Structure 1
Amino acid sequence: MTGRVLGVDACKAGWVGIVLAGDEVAAIFAPTIAELVLLADADGVAQVVAIDIPIGLPDQGVRAADELARQAAGPRWKSVFSTPARQALRAENHATANALHREAGAKGISQQAYGLRKKIFDVDDWVRGQQRRVVEVHPELSFAAMASAPLTDRKTTWAGVERRRALLAAEGVLPAGDLGAAGHVAGVDDVLDAAAAAWSARRVLCGTAVCRPEEPEVFSDGLRCAIWT
């Protein structure tokens, strides 16, 4: 099956996306998820959008998707953080978020997870009005699926970057050139992660993706929660 898909990863300045359409591999950048998808849709609607950000926030406890993703990531399991409860992410500071998260039956919330709250809510607000397929992905799982085994080198090391570039090139989804705005504002690892997300988006469109858990969870927000590869 051919079609147009978008893979998305967060970067410091906003969001970086990789659009796959036939043999086209294009990079885009925008400060918000809504603006990014508008850019992706400029030459045709992206049928699937795959985003490396939690979609579906738990009311308490730990999401099954995060637990299963951590198992599948192997040596890179630390890259999969537990998604905080919604009320914890709404807190005005990390200390309060930590307390609320423990009250919700989970361990303390990391600074990294709390620091992503603005981007999490950017997607949380946007996704509710979407008719297209929008799924959550985790690039480490996407790369593991490409390699048929979890990767061992961190994505910020030379070896890690080269391994990921080789995997994307073999799948025909490696971005090339200066990448325009995306190449100027996004880190190398952000671009490679967005390309891995696009690879998983294409698998979702083709019906070959793996869903963790097999039956998505649904919390009080009504969103289907699962991680796809």
Structure 2
Amino acid sequence: MTRRVMGVDACKKGWVGIAGDLKGYFGVTIGELVAAAEVDGALAVVGVDIPIGLSSTGPRRADVLARGLVGKRASSVFATPVRAALSAATHAEASAVNLRATGKGVSQQAYALARKILEVDAWAPTAGCAVIEVHPEVCFATMAGRPLTHPKSTWAGAEERRQLLAGAGLQVPADIGVAGQFAAVDDVLDAAAAAWTAGRYAEGRAVAYPEPPEVFGDGPPAAIWA
């Protein structure tokens, strides 16, 4: 029996999910999203485009390795802030905390995702299925066997990614239900790429960066899978 999987990406209004059977789902919280998907069947693996496994003292090897895999798309892989920085009340405070711990501040992009990073950090141990971290650009580069040519925000970039997904057997349909009303095009394509990696993980074919994953304290293993 095929094990059911889902890829998940954050979007402005919450979270979008694409299951391996190409059904689309939406939730304001990731717990709500997964619950909606599991109405149609239990999930064995959820691949999430969000950092999982948070350091307290320095950079994660997963982020460093992922930047090397995506070539000129390296700016899409931000350095995950240390745990204490994610709870800071302001971007300036987060940067100061991270600077003391790692020697570097926090990007606006990373700080903007702090709430969702902590949301997944709290939810994942209760998920009842395997939860893995993915990065869509790493997924797409793995599909293509090379870093991608165009940014995902461009028409050419969207088409490049759609063709790779179709070649991998994931031709996302025009109608993905309510998810299509709330998520941007690149959110949906990223979620589908995450579903591809979740499927590979379920089959024992996914690759971890790093291997073995890092472990910080009593937190979950930190690796980006593809």
TM-score range, shorter chain: over 0.9
Q: Deviations over 1:66-95 (max 9, x none)?
A: 000011111111100000001011100011
Question: Residue 73 of structure 1: which of 56, 67, 70 is its match?
Answer: 70
The structure 1 segments of at least 4 consecutive aligned residues displaced by more than 6 Å after TM superposition are none
Contact kept? 2:6, 2:45, Cα under 8 Å: yes
SS class of match (1:136)? strand
Structure 2 Cα separation of the partners of residues 17 and 153 of structure 1: 23
Contact kept? 2:47, 2:133, Cα under 8 Å: yes
- Tell me, which stretches of 5 or more residues in structure 2 are unaligned? none
- Tell me, which stretches of 5 or more residues in structure 1 are unaligned? none
Structure 2 Cα separation of the partners of residues 98 and 122 of structure 1: 20
Structure 2 Cα separation of the partners of residues 117 and 53 of structure 1: 10
Task: Give 1:60 shift.
Answer: 1.4
Contact kept? 1:62, 1:106, Cα under 8 Å: no
Question: Residue 214 of structure 1: which of 203, 211, 214 is its match?
Answer: 211
Question: Residue 158 of structure 1: which of 149, 155, 160 is its match?
Answer: 155
Question: Residue 167 of structure 1: which of 158, 164, 168 is its match?
Answer: 164
Task: Give 1:221 shift.
Answer: 4.3
Mapping of residues 218-229 of structure 1, within 5 Å: 218-229=215-226
Name the amino acid aligned to 2:14. G
Structure 2 Cα separation of the partners of residues 154 and 177 of structure 1: 22
Match of 1:4 in 2: 4
Contact kept? 1:49, 1:201, Cα under 8 Å: yes
Match of 1:142 in 2: 139
Mapping of residues 85-104 of structure 1, within 5 Å: 85-104=82-101
Once superposed, what is the RMSD of the aligned Cα atoms? 1.0
Name the amino acid aligned to 2:111. Y
Q: Deviations over 1:13-35 (max 9, x none)?
A: 00000011xxx211111100001
Name the amino acid aligned to 2:131. V
Identity of paired residues, percent?
56
Structure 1 Cα separation of the partners of residues 129 and 179 of structure 2: 24
Match of 1:31 in 2: 28
SS class of match (1:28)? strand
Task: Give 1:130 shift.
Answer: 2.9
Name the amino acid aligned to 1:189. D
